[in-house]
Amino acid sequence: MTLTGKQKAKLKGMAHGIKPVIQVGKAGVEEPQIRSIKRALHEHELIKVKFLDYKDHKKEISENIARETGSEVVDIIGNILILYWENMDRGRRQVRL
């Protein structure tokens, strides 16, 4: 799924009050973090990831996270990544676009 500008704007607004659920630190993004991100996406659909380290490479890391988790990068604001994953089960979707 490719998000339109209007959908991204809506998701950014929805993400405003959300706290980051995952932090990327000195160890970078490894398999345990990817699993945690997938779990959080399946539970919430819209999450934030905070970069504590690797701030200079956050764009590349963000694209890698999205690819590995099957999610979409909504935006990177400062050191916060906003990710969205659309649940294929329409009855379980929490985020309506």
Tens of pLDDT along 31-51?
A: 888 999 999 999 899 999 999
Q: Is the dihedral of CA 4, 67, 34, 89 positive or negative?
A: positive
What is the C-alpha to C-alpha distance for residues 22 and 19, in angstroms, rounded to an integer?
A: 9
pLDDT of 1 > 80? The answer is no
Specify the pTM: 0.88
DSSP class of 91: G
Instruction: Provide Rg for the chain, Cα atoms.
Output: 13
- Please state the φ and ψ torsions of residue 69, each to the nearest 5 degrees: -100, -5
